[in-house]
Structure 1
Amino acid sequence: MYFAALLARTEDGWEASDTELDDVETLSDLTDLAREASEEADTVLVLIEQEDAWFGVLRLDGEEDPRIYVSDAAAAARSSYGEILLTDELLGREPGDDDVADLDSLDLDGTEDGEPEDSDEEDEEVAASGEAVSHSPVGDRDILADLGVSEKELLALDEGDALSTIADALGAAEVLETVR
């Protein structure tokens, strides 16, 4: 299960809306959805979390390119919503690189069809061989620094309550809870 919300900073403060991602297939689609949903906002955040496994933040400031942060790249890579955020550039690979595992063959729980989950040791071996995405955070670690969440605080967030903690730091906890 996932949760996605859009927080838009306007002259009157933060506004939140529930964001449905079923029709979103690419980062461009997500960026367009965020821009359309909050045309009057100067800063827009799309917050996504999946079952306490990972969270991601997409930030748009005006017409600038989107900035992205994902707490656990490997967990997000096993999610269709996480894959939207995990661009080749974010993962530090060339577009079309074939030296990584075929993520399309993974179920949302992270296992191949009919295969048991890998142990942590096996995950580390696969990551070291370059066949999978690592479990480390990726993206812009300063994405929320000017809004009150430093890099250190962002990296220390627990996936289970990260979005609430972020919203609280922004002064938007109440508006986020209205769409949760």
Structure 2
Amino acid sequence: MYFAALLARTEDGWKASDTELDDVETLSDLTDLAREASVDEDTVLVFIEQEDAWFGVIRVDGEEDPRIFVSQASAAARSSYGEILLTDELLGREPGAEDSIAALEELVGLDGTEDSEPEGPGRSPGHSNDDDDDGPDPDAVPTGPLGDTGLLSDLGLPEAELLMLRTDALAEIADALGAAEDLETVR
């Protein structure tokens, strides 16, 4: 079960609204949704939570690039909404790396040989001769927090406190921002 909400900063404080993510397929879609909720291009926070497994905060300030924090990257990677937040940039990959990896995987069979490559001497089924098999997987998503840990520091929630949040994290973030009641009304 997911929960998603927008918190838009206004002259009178924060205004919370729940949001549907059914039509959101990319980070750009999510950013556009946040900008639509913005008052005078002020700060908008997007909260996404999956039943205490992980939460994400996206901060959009006017036309600036969104800033993202994900509490448990490996759990988010197994979630359709989490995948939206785990961009190549956030994961430290070259943009489009997934497309290149998918194309290479199509060229190489499950046994590690190319389709036209015979299994000759020194090659056993399921074994490749790459020397870096023991190295880190470039596609692996790190466990634990990932992203901009300081995205809420200027709003009253220091990095250290953000990193310590586990369950009911969104309520604690909203409380630190002075928006707990607003968030509770849309929960």
Q: Secondary structure of the equivalent of 1:55? A: strand
Q: In the TM superposition, what are the counterparts of 1:38-77 in structure 2 within 5 Å?
A: 38-40=38-40, 42-77=42-77
- Deviation of 1:98 after TM superposition, in Å, equals 4.6
Say which one has the larger Rg. Answer: 2
User: Which stretches in structure 2 are left out of the alignment for 5+ residues?
Assistant: 103-133
Conservation of the 8 A alpha-carbon contact between 1:10 and 1:41: no
Q: Is the 8 A contact 2:71 2:146 kept in 1?
A: yes
1:68-87 to structure 2, matched below 5 A, reads: 68-87=68-87
> Which residue in 1 is equivalent to 2:169?
162
Query: What is the number of equivalent residue pairs in this alignment?
Result: 156
Partner of 2:185: 178
Q: Offset at 1:127?
A: 10
Out of 144, 148, 152, the residue aligned to residue 144 of structure 1 is: 152
Q: Distance in 2 between matches of 1:88 and 1:177?
A: 33
1:135 to 121, 134, 143: 143
Task: Tell me, in whole angstroms, the C-alpha distance in 1 between the residues paired with 2:27 and 2:98.
Answer: 20
- Matching of residues 69-108 of structure 1 within 5 Å: 69-98=69-98
Q: Which runs of 5+ in 1 are unaligned?
A: 103-125
Cα RMSD between the aligned structures? 2.2
Q: Note the C-alpha offset of 1:37.
A: 2.2
Q: State the Cα deviation string for residues 1-59 of structure 1 (Å, max 9, x = none).
A: 11000000100110000011010000000000111123435110001110100000000
**Which residue identity is paired with 2:168?**
D
User: CA shift at 1:165, angstroms?
Assistant: 0.3
Q: Percent identity?
A: 76
How far the C-alpha of 1:151 sits from its partner, in A, is 0.7
- Distance 1:172-1:136 versus aligned 2 partners, 3 A rule: same
- TM-score normalized by structure 1? 0.80
TM-score, length basis structure 2: 0.78
